[in-house]
Structure 1
């Protein structure tokens, strides 16, 4: 890696609908001063970045001139308007306002996809069987505030990340209960996407359809983990089963024999509930193609800040192109 392509220190950000995570990269894949800011506490992304930079200014002897932002939103052109939060901005305008020479802004799951080849055994855990085929496409799906979907396609000795909005593809029910859930949600919302079920709000909708009661996703998860609420346990099982079905669909669509990764903020919190859930069985339940899918491994990402790895790789690539 040449010095021009790395150009430290660098600002990295992972911006979701609820929280924005920041770090300063001081050496290749060395992330320092990690901070998590609540998006609701700031009027704009620029204000959040300025607050973070102010908090770390004393620790940076060299001015930060290059940055990469992974954001939970489509990125197409200069203008970005978040769908899960009220922030909107011009990439060029934000770059100039922050006094940066380079600002790369990409979809958060594009960045997360670029992180996958860099994650080691301590940063991921395999769920179920299967073995990855080297140099083959890799899939990525992750529920959080919304549902992110992406993947990696090999190209020579490099990887090409897919900028996808697959979370908004139509959800296909896998059993009678999911038929009933989709029917109820269609009456309320019209189109029923995978994200409608596979997200924090989706857990709440599943629980409401199952029990008739409104309860927050955090409470549903907590009570399911405690084991004191059968409806909450069942809601998480339905959520995990639906996630397995969607992940299996992605494996088939991409031919992802390099494996499928599960990211996002929800699943790592489920612990043993996820391990014993219907996830893997539903992943493999693909009729005549079940033997094909059964050979594909699934991994849960347990690295707390994986998007930083991908944002760093994307920024390095952009800087290399400039030089």
Structure 2
């Protein structure tokens, strides 16, 4: 079977679903359309709508899901949708099918991202093309997944790293944890490292000053740009904690091929990470601090990376069956 089949690709977010056509590993961006999830009962209805509008009969279909995936079936975290291969076949008629966690899809895209969509934050050291890599997504939630290359095959195990426990190093951080724990039972990493997590850090700093001044993440970032001390402190705490978590994950997976930060929150923090504590948090590993300098760190800003990853994954599936 040709690996350059036409496939319909979908990236389901919490609010909208992006759909586009793929040919081999390439995504046809001129075919991309966005649909509001609230207007549809499920992804099958979205795909039927898209195919009726385009008149395409795809041979393949891959969907990236913002939620846990197991045995080719996924459930969305923020909306009551489920996705599985049988549903995709019924909606599209395609026979080459896949369901990925959205972070898995981002991992499959690595190596196919245009240079203008990658910004190197920390250069690290050169490594083999087969070296492990790591994608870290920070947006509405937080997650991370390793990316492995075995010959011509890419393996991206699913993960739910955002629900792991945050490591703490100081009395100040312990007070932050205690504050968040009063509002959320057993808070995980994404309770601190996400859009809402950033707002929680701000609110904790307000509590420390015995004031109430609730603000959105965007408002806090705007204040930081003016030199506002509390906003700057919130950015520094967030950046330091993100660096520490990325450092912990690096020691777990040894991604000598690079760490790739993705997601809307990561993108907004990108210009401020190096000057607000990320390198210090990342490298604060005692006698392994020098070891940490090996890992390159990049900011990925391609809005269609998940769709590219879907296309690449389907292509690899076809190659395996040729």
TM-score (norm 1): 0.88
Task: Check conservation: 1:267, 1:274, Cα contact below 8 A.
Answer: no
- Tell me, yes or no, if structure 1 residue 215 matches structure 2 residue 215: yes
Match of 2:317 in 1: 318
Over aligned residues, Cα RMSD in angstroms? 2.2
Q: How far apart in 1 are the matches of 2:217 and 2:189?
A: 17
Match of 1:16 in 2: 13
CA offsets 1:84-140 (integer angstroms, 9 cap, x no match): 222224431242133332331111111111111223432211112412311221111
Q: How far apart in 2 are the matches of 1:276 and 1:264?
A: 20
Q: How far apart in 1 are the matches of 2:25 and 2:161?
A: 31
Q: How far apart in 2 are the matches of 1:42 and 1:233?
A: 41
Q: Tell me: CA distance 1:183–1:314, structure 2 relative to 1, closer, same or farther (3 Å).
A: same
Q: 1:45 aligns with which of 43, 60, 63?
A: 43
**Which shifted more, 268-277 or 109-118?**
268-277
CA offsets 1:264-307 (integer angstroms, 9 cap, x no match): 12121235323422112211111111000012111111222111
**Which shifted more, 297-306 or 85-94?**
85-94
Match of 2:308 in 1: 309
Match of 1:64 in 2: 58
Dislocated runs of 4+, deviation >6 Å: none
Q: 1:203 aligns with which of 198, 202, 210?
A: 198
CA offsets 1:46-74 (integer angstroms, 9 cap, x no match): 233333334434xx5xx223111111111
Match of 1:156 in 2: 151
- Tell me, yes or no, if structure 1 residue 194 matches structure 2 residue 185: no
Shift, 1:145, TM fit? 1.4
Q: How far apart in 2 are the matches of 1:40 and 1:207?
A: 31
Match of 2:96 in 1: 102
Task: Check conservation: 1:6, 1:316, Cα contact below 8 A.
Answer: yes
Match of 1:88 in 2: 82
Q: How far apart in 2 are the matches of 1:273 and 1:243?
A: 12
**Match of 2:19, SS?**
strand
Shift, 1:228, TM fit? 6.2
**Which shifted more, 160-169 or 248-257?**
160-169
Match of 1:173 in 2: 168
Q: Tell me: CA distance 1:34–1:287, structure 2 relative to 1, closer, same or farther (3 Å).
A: same
Shift, 1:82, TM fit? 1.4
Which ranges in structure 1 are unaligned for 5 or more consecutive residues? none
Q: Tell me: CA distance 1:219–1:49, structure 2 relative to 1, closer, same or farther (3 Å).
A: farther
Match of 1:122 in 2: 116
- Tell me, yes or no, if structure 1 residue 299 matches structure 2 residue 298: yes
Task: Check conservation: 1:11, 1:24, Cα contact below 8 A.
Answer: yes
Shift, 1:143, TM fit? 0.6
Match of 1:242 in 2: 241
TM-score (norm 2): 0.89
Shift, 1:157, TM fit? 4.3
Q: How far apart in 2 are the matches of 1:144 and 1:132?
A: 29
Shift, 1:171, TM fit? 0.7
Task: Check conservation: 2:74, 2:99, Cα contact below 8 A.
Answer: no
Q: How far apart in 1 are the matches of 2:194 and 2:34?
A: 20
Task: Check conservation: 2:246, 2:282, Cα contact below 8 A.
Answer: yes
